[in-house]
Chain A
Amino acid sequence: MPAAVVFFAAIVFWEGAVRIFDIQDFLLPAPSDIVSTLRSDWEPLWSAAFFTFREAVAGFVLGCSAGFLVAAAIARFRLLRSAVMPYAIAAGAVPIIAFAPITNNWFGVTGMSSKIAIAAILCFFPMLVNTMKGLTSVPTSSIELMRSYAASELTIFRRVRLPSSLPYVFSGLKVCTVLAMIGAIVGDYFGGAPGALGVQIRRWVGIFAFDQAWAGIVLASALGILFYGSVAVAERLVMGWHPSVRGAGAE
């Protein structure tokens, strides 16, 4: 509730500031202008945003599954883990988005696949690192207990490692929703299908249609929040048992 108050206060402040100080359209359009543009140009805006959103989701699914599977595969082997993990962690410090023009070269500028690729690469490493952390930071006694029941490695993975890694996996997934949206939109900026949102935003800016550019950005933000939110909801559904989820629900 306090958050909603802040939201509306910010909108009112923005609207008021634009009107009172007569801020030029190309610097910052008023929220009311953006909303009316969203209404009047809904069709092209939505199709562009949804196109890019699909790129992001596809990249997210690919990158996250790959990150998860690689982590699951190498979590068991200490040597492999210690060989791979430093690079996976270092990759977190690399501005992978800088590769976007390169993936355009590899997978074609105008198709979806180059944008899916950059979103997937962006998602891969954080997902790998988070999953690995989750799978390996299980208390020794949890594992010893399962050993005492003569449980196989596979059983231990399924019954203990996997469920106890879920908080880490979901925090990875949530970070990746944001990364995937960034990857897809910035990927579009370096060239993409004519109907893609990033391409459209650049074009609108080029023809001084700033309210349209802003409307596109607002729509992309809304889709990003929706994306993040649906992963957060999935987290609640899957981890209803988790104290942190219960605690958050009580607030």
Chain B
Amino acid sequence: MSTQPVVSLRGVTKSFGAGGVTALQSIDLDVLAGEFVSLIGPSGCGKSTLLRVVGDLVDATSGEVVVNGKSARQARRDGDYGIVFQDAVLYDWRTVAKNIALPLELLGWGKARREKRVEELLGLVELQGFGGLHPWQLSGGMQQRVSIARALSFSPALLLMDEPFGALDEMTRERLNGELLRIWEMSGSTVIFVTHSISEAVFLSTRVVVMSRRPGRIAALVDIDLPQPRNADTREEPHFFELVTEVRDRLREGGLNEESTAPGEGELVGEGTP
């Protein structure tokens, strides 16, 4: 694990409209190579916006975004990003295999090379034999695995994930959490992961970035020193609960005044809350 920052944010501010809402205010953050960093915060804290700023899908109003030593735009042009959204964003007119191969087609890979890579990826996300199906024939969890395979297909330096398991049920989510960690260890990529589940953030991350409510600011950084590799037992360890409590406390400090008006926000949302 090197210590060279893959993402470096300096004074990143984003406001929408002329003199409108400030979504992000003076964000400073370094993400090192091989890190798994989660962004957590109440709804509307700008965590998704921050992810989009890093991925050059949204322009920062001011501040500097450096990815792999270059501008975010250049990084996007160079194909440094693999993105996974909350919905799998699979194209219905393509089979599973062709969805995974889409970025490779755009990169101009030959057919044989693409097919070989797709087979590898289907194995990685444990969907061997599903390549010929259409996305709508798969369950939500399987669709999201296809989406992850697609994001990994061209081995991007940086994986950006925007609540990828937010729409899934708790059991599927926990299983995919485990799979994601395994994939992360195997691929060695750097991950920025947006979530509003505290336990998910603690379980997955090497570091949790706690954001405060609008205007979005970094309220705290919590290092997650749980040993790797993590598995279902990790969730039972006392230290896991200590870290969950710490993140929750930091969230409370960050969004204290509004938490009472939005029950569930900042708590273990998605874990029993409908």
Contacts and interface: CB of A to CB of B under 8 A. Distances in A.
Nearest to A148: B83
A241 B92 contact: yes
Given A151-B106, A241-B134, A242-B93, A144 B83 contact: yes
B91 A148 contact: no
Nearest to B83: A148
A85 interface: no
A155 interface: yes
Interface residues of B, number: 24
Contacts of A155: 106
- By size class, the interface of chain A is 20 to 34
Interface string B180-211: 00000000000000000000000000000000
Contacts of B103: 149
A2 interface: no
A141 interface: yes
A147 B57 contact: yes
A151 B91 CA distance: 15
B146 to A, nearest CB: 13
A241 B85 CA distance: 23
Contacts of B102: 149, 159
Contacts of B107: 149
Given A147-B57, A155-B106, A142 B91 contact: yes
Nearest to A162: B93
Contact of B85 (A141, A160, A164): A141
Interface string B36-59: 000000000000000010010100
A9 interface: no
Given A149-B103, A149-B106, A163-B93, A243 B136 contact: yes
Nearest to B73: A150
A3 to B, nearest CB: 27
A251 to B, nearest CB: 17
Which 10 A-B pairs give the minimum distances between C-beta atoms?
A148-B83, A241-B93, A163-B93, A150-B77, A141-B85, A141-B89, A243-B136, A144-B57, A148-B81, A149-B103
